[in-house]
Structure 1
């Protein structure tokens, strides 16, 4: 991972779209700081497309799409995208699964929930689970004492034995049924809403993240950035980000925003 400060100026100038994880990438210790939120707003005002790509739930994503300075949001690790049209005051939504599939999948996830909570002492249902539509989030360190990595791996194995996908974020293990992830829905959004084909996106998009559930994005986008706290998960990553910030979490995201804004200003 090359220090972000060494990104060539012409490379930084080519970036028009900022995709970013939220937890521990834009936020710091669970807080959205003024500097990180300001970085989002400055990027948006400067004409960048700004799109959070997060594991957080549909309920949160409705709020983010409406009230944050962003152009759209991908949520629940790729289960959907939301885009709010402020002029028409309408919310555009696209889900990967049909309502019938979501209902069937929820029944299977309920069974996994029961097994995880019975089998992995100290794990808990994520506090935002009530606002989720497509996935199951198991808390291993957000609102519970941090579990050892071996227990996180046990949670992942329970999901996978049931045929579900499972991804580890900095705070949760997220599991779902369906052949999608952050990357597949981000690609769908860029094509559907912004008319950006894949060849164009690879040269115009930067992705910022901090944990293993960002790995599909790190692998896909040549211009990927890990905030400094990605180092804690580096041993779990086959595909690492191309660049790494000096700052942790929201400070690292603000560092990326400053670089992009300075490059655009010349």
Structure 2
């Protein structure tokens, strides 16, 4: 699952499957570009991310140097234009309002893994764009890599468990815990 729940790359398909309703990708990308242009008018130092040109469902720009209040303003500006907004430790994302990782994951589970329930799923995240994966009504088991603690005051949903280590070391900590306790 990629682009914050916008795309799914299955193991048997080279082309991504859209997980959000977009009738014309070219027009969609143009609309995202217009939103970014309006954001840049108020925040002229915003820089499009290097991978943005390869994206289909969202528009990315670098998060570096943006304060929490600026991120909140950007979110409000996007919502006023009927677009969603989220961010990670690296990038900000302009996206359709209904697009998030939980929605994308639930769609993939129902279409490709119908025998799995969310009781069988452990979601993992490290930044605000992973927040929907921490919603206990959708996913009762979630883990935040320790750097999520930098953002918890801004999150409505928090993970049920947080690793001691940050970033890749936190993920390795989780993997070790899971493999130790697996028969």
User: Structure 1 CA distance, aligned partners of 2:120 and 2:132?
Assistant: 17
User: Structure 1 CA distance, aligned partners of 2:14 and 2:107?
Assistant: 17
| Residue in structure 1 matched with residue 153 of structure 2 by the alignment | 235
Does the C-alpha gap of structure 1 residues 84 and 161 become closer, same or farther in structure 2, counting only changes over 3 Å?
same
User: Structure 1 CA distance, aligned partners of 2:21 and 2:161?
Assistant: 37
| Residue in structure 2 matched with residue 153 of structure 1 by the alignment | 72
User: Structure 2 CA distance, aligned partners of 1:236 and 1:98?
Assistant: 28
Query: Matched residue pairs, number?
Result: 181
Kindly indicate whether structure 1 or structure 2 has the higher relative contact order, using CA contacts under 8 Å at least 6 residues apart.
1
Q: Contact 1:228–1:249 (CA<8 Å) still a contact in 2? A: yes
1:214 aligns with 2:125: no
Q: Shift of residue 178 of structure 1?
A: 5.2
Does the C-alpha gap of structure 1 residues 149 and 246 become closer, same or farther in structure 2, counting only changes over 3 Å?
same
User: Structure 1 CA distance, aligned partners of 2:98 and 2:156?
Assistant: 20
| Residue in structure 2 matched with residue 202 of structure 1 by the alignment | 118
Using structure 1 for the length normalisation, give the TM-score: 0.64
5+ unaligned residues in a row in structure 2: which ranges? none
Q: Contact 1:82–1:91 (CA<8 Å) still a contact in 2? A: yes
1:190 aligns with 2:109: yes
5+ unaligned residues in a row in structure 1: which ranges? 1-73
> 1:1-266 to 2 correspondence within 5 Å?
74-85=1-12, 90-91=13-14, 93-97=16-20, 100-141=23-64, 146-177=65-96, 179-196=98-115, 200-219=116-135, 220-265=138-183
SS at match of 2:70: helix
SS at match of 1:124: coil
Cα RMSD after superposing both structures: 1.8
SS at match of 1:167: strand
Q: Shift of residue 262 of structure 1?
A: 0.9
Using structure 2 for the length normalisation, give the TM-score: 0.90
